[in-house]
Amino acid sequence: MERWKQHILVVDDDVAILDCIRMSIKKDIPCQITTTSDSLEALELLKNNVYNVVIADINMPNLSGFQLLEFISTISPNTPVILITGSTEPEKLRIAIQLGAHDILRKPFELSDLHMAINNALQKNALLLQNEVYRLNLEHIVQQRTQELYAAKSKLEKNYLNTIHAMVNAMEANDIYIRGHSERVTVLSIMIGKLLNLSAKELNLLRVGALLHDLGKIGIYDTVLNKKDNLTPSEFSLIKQHPVIGAQIVRPIGLPEAVYNIILQHHEWFGGGGYPYGLTQENISLLARIVTIADSYDAMTSKRVYRHNLEPNAARTEIINNIGFQFDPDIGLLFFEKFCQITEPLSDTPAIQNLLSELI
Ligand SMILES: [Fe+2]
C-alpha cells in the first residue's frame, strides 16, 4: 500500500505533545495526519473515518485511551492502536495488552521510538488489509464456485428426472392400460409420505421409486400384460418376475438402495404372501409399503383390459379391509382417514405439478 494514502489519527489532551507528534510524523512519515485534543471529538472522527493507525493518550478527560481502543477494536479491528502514557504502573500495561494495543510508549519517549512504533503499526495494518482483501476474494470465489456447482447439480437432477421419465414412458408404451399409472402412483405416494412427515430426501427417493416401480413390466410380453382371459400359472409366474426385472434394470445405474427396494418390494404383503420373496412387516422398506398402497389404489380405480375399475370409495374400503394382511396397518389407516385429502390433488394437474416441482 502506498504511504501517501495512509491516514493517522493522534489523540492527546496535552496540546504541546500533540503538536510535537504531529510535526515529527509530518517530517519523516509521508501520510495524512489528523490530530485532536478532545477524546469525544476523536470518537466522532472514528465513527466517520477509517484510520490506518491511531495514537492515543491513556489518561484524558471524558474518554480514556483504553475506551477509544475498545471502540476501535469493535468497529475497525484492522487499525493498530499505539497508546502513550506518563504512568509507570504495570497494571496499565497489563490492561493495554489485554485490550489488544499494538504498542505502548512511555512519556517522555524518543521520537525514534515513536517512528519505529508507527512504522511497525503501518506495516501491520497493511498486512491485515491485504489479508482482508485476500479473504474477501476467496469468499467471492467460493460463492461463485458454489453457484456454479448448484447450477450443474440442478441440471444433472433435471437430466436425471428426464431419464427416469423416458424409462417410464418406454415401459408404459408397452401397456396402453397403465399409461399415467406411474405418475398417479407417484403423486399418491408423495401425498402419503407428506402425511407421514417424511424428509425432503425421503420424498425424493419415494418419487423416483414410485415412478419406476413397474419398470420391470418392460420385460414382460404385452400379450401377457394385456391378456383378457385368466392368466395361466406360468404366465402369472412371469408377471411376478417384474419387480426383480425392474430392480435388475436399475441396478447398474447406481440408483439409491431405497429406490431399488421400492421397485423390488412393491408387491410384498405386510402379512407375508406377497412376491417375489414373501417378506413381512418391517422387512419391507417403509417407502415400498407406501407405494404398495398407492399402487393398489390406482390399480383398483383404473380400468384394465380384463376387468372394470372400482369407485374410489370402494377401493378405499378394500384397502382398510386388507390392512395388516396386504397393507401396513398404520399407513393403511392413515390412507383411510385422510382419503379425501390424499386423493384430491389427483384430479388437479397444477397441484400435481406444484407438488413435484417442490421436490426438484
Ligand atoms: Fe407392479
At 358 the pLDDT is 60
The alpha carbon of 139 and the centre of ligand 1 are apart by a number of angstroms equal to: 50
Contact of 81 with 101, CB cutoff 8 Å: yes
Q: How close is the Cα of 281 to the center of ligand 1, in Å? A: 18
pLDDT score, position 128: 93
* Ligand 1 center–CA 7 separation, angstroms: 77
| Percent of the chain residues past pLDDT 90, beyond the cut | 50
The CA 147 to ligand 1 mean position distance, Å, reads 40
Half-sphere exposure of 233 (CA within 13 A, CB side): 0
Identify the pLDDT of residue 258: 94
Tell me what pLDDT residue 237 has: 84
**Do residues 64 and 172 both lie within one domain?**
no
Instruction: Note if the pTM is more than 0.95.
Output: no
351 and 245 in a single domain? The answer is yes
**Residue 279 C-alpha to ligand 1 middle, in angstroms?**
16
pLDDT for residue 40 is more than 70: yes
177 CA from centroid of ligand 1 (Å): 13
Q: What is the pLDDT of residues 122-140, one digit of tens each?
A: 999 999 999 989 999 999 9
More confident residue, 207 or 308: 207
CA–CA distances in Å: residue 116 to residues 19, 84, 112, 316, 353: 18, 14, 6, 87, 70
Could you identify the residue written with the cell 476523536? 42
> What is the distance between the alpha carbons of residues 106 and 117, in angstroms, rounded to a whole number?
12
Name the band, by pLDDT with cuts 50, 70 and 90, for residue 314: confident
Pick the closest to residue 6 from 48, 54, 64, 47 (CA basis): 54
Helices (H), the chain: 15-28, 39-48, 65-75, 90-99, 111-173, 181-195, 200-212, 222-225, 233-239, 242-250, 257-265, 286-301, 312-321, 329-337, 339-343, 349-359
Report pLDDT digits (tens) over 190-243: 989 999 999 989 998 999 899 899 988 887 777 777 777 787 888 888 888 999
Contacts of residue 136, defined as CB under 8 A and 6 or more positions apart, other chains included, come to: none
Lowest-confidence range among 34-38, 144-148, 353-357? 353-357
Residue 73's CATH number: 3.40.50.2300
> Which range is least confidently modeled, 9-13, 44-48, 80-84, 313-317?
313-317
- Cα 214 to ligand 1 centroid, rounded to whole Å: 5
Task: Report the C-alpha gap between 285 and 287 in whole angstroms.
Answer: 5
| Last-in-domain residue among 113, 140, 167 | 140
Kindly give the distance from the C-alpha atom of residue 267 to the centroid of ligand 1, in angstroms, as a whole number.
6
Average pLDDT of the chain is: 87
Residue type, 251: R
Distance CA 284, CA 266 (A): 9
Cβ atoms of 291 and 262 within 8 Å: the answer is yes
Question: In terms of domains, do 59 and 126 share one?
Answer: yes
Partner residues linked to 154 by β-bridges: none
* pLDDT single digits (tens) 325-348: 999 999 999 988 887 666 666 655
Task: Give the number of domains in the chain.
Answer: 2
- Are 285 and 261 a contacting pair, CB within 8 Å? yes
Domain that holds residue 347: 153-359
Q: Give the Å distance between the CA of 293 and the centre of ligand 1.
A: 11
Domain boundary among 140, 167, 186: 140
163 three-state secondary structure: helix
Cell numbers 491513556: residue? 58
Q: Is residue 57 part of a domain?
A: yes
- Please check whether residue 145 lies inside any domain of the structure: no
- Domain-terminating residue out of 140, 171, 203: 140
* Residue 148 placed within a domain: no
Reply yes or no on whether the pLDDT at 3 is more than 50. no
22 part of a folded domain: yes
